[in-house]
Structure 1
Amino acid sequence: MTAPLDTTTLLPETGADTGPETHPADAARPALADETAPAELPPRKRRPKRDIDGWVLLDKPVGMTSTQAVGAVKWLFSAKKAGHAGTLDPLASGCLPIALGEATKTVPFVMEGRKVYRFTVRWGVETDTDDSEGKAVAQSEVRPAREAILAILDAFRGEIEQVPPAYSALKINGERAYDLARDGVQVELAARTVVIHSLDLVEMPDADHAVFETECGKGTYVRSLARDMGRRLGTHGHISALRRTRVGTFPEEELVPLATLRAWSEERDDAAPMHVLRPVSIGLDTLPCLRVSPADATRLAHGQPIILRGRDAPILEGPVAITAGGRLIALGEAEAGEIYPKRIFHAGK
């Protein structure tokens, strides 16, 4: 959250831009045997559920679905409630923020943050899933030179039109596109406008592969980006490796591998590794923060709006995080000098 505003002392506004929306990375693809590999699932041991509130910044391993990762973390912490902020394919590794308890109320705001990916494109082969887990549907002997790759990158920066992969979670007449594709139905998805904030060639380890880094907006499919770059270069391409290095304000260097969480839990005789739990409020770092009096906090907690009074009252519009006594108490919507409560935080994290 940004520096708080105080309705009791009428501090000036310190709101921050929440930034463009970003897409949860490439969720849907054909089911694989290793998605349910017993080695990747938490042990079948009963634990009493607890009220655990906060964020776990997980470094998801390759070969595990996002749902399995959430289940593993939820089990390790014996949490009653858990969710994640942006799906990662089993093929992908990296930043998977997992919300526990009250933190699940802030997931939509984390989803609004920009996401950064590093990915490898395999030239010469296009697959039905646009990644290495699909079947080859087109091949080419052409391998693009560095100069040719650099020459097309501007065409994929900024606002672009992009057709999502057939194997995606988008719905067609109420059914998921990947379900239709698996059943052999020809899937045709309309192009959508997405935003690519940056796209850079990082390295070319050999003629068949190129490594890129991109910061992209909501709705962007990295798999489609690889496919379309291949076609633009007069060849074909698909994702052979994908890692998400950042989600919003959650950087790669703060991620904790699942294996490390499990090891800490085992060392402490099944005690949850609470020292890695981040506060609920970090999911709201991009929102303006408003500090209110105890009386206003009580009104908001009962679902009643408050009025920002006084000549120097802050001018706020849109979502705002609200604190009282140093505790996060609510998410609200500011409109015409009033704050309307939307979500109440009972844990005060």
Structure 2
Amino acid sequence: MGKFVRLEGEDKSYIGTLPRDRSIPELLRTSVVCLDKPHNRTTHQTTQGVKKILGVKKVGHGGQLEPVMSGLVVVLLEDACKITRFIIQGDREYVFRLQFSREVPRERLERAFAKFTGKIKQVPPLRSKTRRVLRTKFVESIEILDARPRWAKVKVICESGTYLRKLFYDMTRLLRANVSLSHIRRTRSGNLTIQQAVTFGELSKAYQAYKNEGNEEPLRSILIPMEETIFQKKIYLTDASIPKICSGRPVFIDNIVAFDDEIEAEEVVAMFSLNEELVAIGKTICSGETMKTLEDGVVAYPIRVVMPHHLFRQNNNHVET
């Protein structure tokens, strides 16, 4: 994806801080932690464990993971909780084992997987707390990592909110066998991966090194600025416009320095400073192609302001009148 620059020569900011250059106290307010959740622990227990270790006031998460599942849980710290509902929308990747009640040839397995790739229809299972209505979900891929007549190891990439067990239960007629899932492990959530995840022990050790020894590096390597979790297309704002947008005002075309190509009308986008700081999550009024032709007018509006107004102080040389 390319970037269209509206204001040549205006792509440098003199205000603000690059997210990775924030102090540790600032990072503890504006970051996420990728936690490798062990089996038999709830998502709530996981987030509260992170809260206790880091001594923060508020935590959230980027998607539930059942107690019997292990793997990536994205824990949001304090101000990062403001973008929870936007992180949750990212797709998911899981690796797990399928056990069949009878032998299933690989060719039959591949045909069934192909049938359930793309847009699928699901009704949430009876035990689900969500309303049991027919929903459309998207399964990007179902890949066989290893296969034997009575079992297979697979990797699934799917839309958030897809019920994995229901997905394979619905395949039983095509497979001509009952299917059970085990060793379910989430390996990716949005653009965050299990390779970035740490255990509770590693997180605690890094925090103690910071508190007791003044060694920031281990903790810095764990705290991921919330900006790096964003997968939405981006709009880059002028320094002078940011205080106004932090107050909830709409985005005019002359507030924009650059934006990602292929932005659509009515699309949820991320609004950034020129120092890559997240200002707000917003929604466009017109497409990127239309923006390229405009000289004035409103092109987007914030739906969730993330940056506190006082954190982006303007000096007198950059304030719009």
TM more than 0.5: yes
Q: Secondary structure at the match of 2:136?
A: strand
Letter in 1 for 2:29: I
User: Taking structure 1 as reference, are residues 320 and 9 closer, same or farther at Cα in structure 2, changes over 3 Å only?
Assistant: farther
Alignment-derived partner of residue 328 in structure 1: 278
**Whole-angstrom distance in 1 between the partners of 2:93 and 2:80:** 22
Query: How many residues are paired up?
Result: 274
**Whole-angstrom distance in 2 between the partners of 1:84 and 1:321:** 19
Alignment-derived partner of residue 89 in structure 1: 66
**Whole-angstrom distance in 2 between the partners of 1:279 and 1:54:** 4
Q: Counterparts in 2 of 1:129-148, with a 5 A limit?
A: 142-148=102-108
User: Taking structure 1 as reference, are residues 331 and 222 closer, same or farther at Cα in structure 2, changes over 3 Å only?
Assistant: same
Q: Please list the CA deviations of residues 206-254 of structure 1 after superposition, one character each: whole Å capped at 9, or x if unmatched.
A: 5432111111123311111222223422221121121111111112222
Alignment-derived partner of residue 340 in structure 1: 301
**Whole-angstrom distance in 2 between the partners of 1:219 and 1:203:** 26
Q: Secondary structure at the match of 1:309?
A: helix
Give yes or no for the alignment of 1:280 onto 2:226: yes
Q: Secondary structure at the match of 2:176?
A: coil
**TM-score, length-normalised on structure 1?**
0.69
Q: Secondary structure at the match of 1:58?
A: strand
Letter in 2 for 1:341: P
**Whole-angstrom distance in 1 between the partners of 2:55 and 2:278:** 23
Q: Which runs of 4+ in 1 moved over 4 A?
A: 1-11, 266-273, 312-316
Alignment-derived partner of residue 309 in structure 1: 254
- Displacement of 1:278 in angstroms is 0.8
Q: Given the alignment, which residue of 162, 166, 173 partners 1:224?
A: 166
- Displacement of 1:157 in angstroms is 0.9
Whether the 8 Å CA contact 2:6–2:258 is kept in 1: the answer is: no
Alignment-derived partner of residue 289 in structure 1: 235
Greater RCO between the two (CA within 8 Å, min separation 6)? 1
Give yes or no for the alignment of 1:250 onto 2:206: no
Letter in 2 for 1:330: A
- Displacement of 1:163 in angstroms is 3.0
**Whole-angstrom distance in 2 between the partners of 1:103 and 1:203:** 38
Letter in 2 for 1:120: R
**TM-score, length-normalised on structure 2?**
0.74
Stretches of structure 2 lacking an aligned partner (at least 5 in a row): 12-26, 287-297, 313-321
Whether the 8 Å CA contact 1:200–1:214 is kept in 2: the answer is: yes
Stretches of structure 1 lacking an aligned partner (at least 5 in a row): 12-49, 125-141, 172-188
Q: Secondary structure at the match of 1:212?
A: strand
Alignment-derived partner of residue 90 in structure 2: 113
**Whole-angstrom distance in 2 between the partners of 1:266 and 1:51:** 14
Alignment-derived partner of residue 70 in structure 1: 47
Alignment-derived partner of residue 159 in structure 1: 119
Letter in 2 for 1:274: L
Q: Please list the CA deviations of residues 56-107 of structure 1 after superposition, one character each: whole Å capped at 9, or x if unmatched.
A: 1111111111111000011111111111111111111111111111111222
CA RMSD in angstroms comes to: 3.1
Alignment-derived partner of residue 203 in structure 1: 146
Letter in 2 for 1:245: T
User: Taking structure 1 as reference, are residues 7 and 113 closer, same or farther at Cα in structure 2, changes over 3 Å only?
Assistant: farther
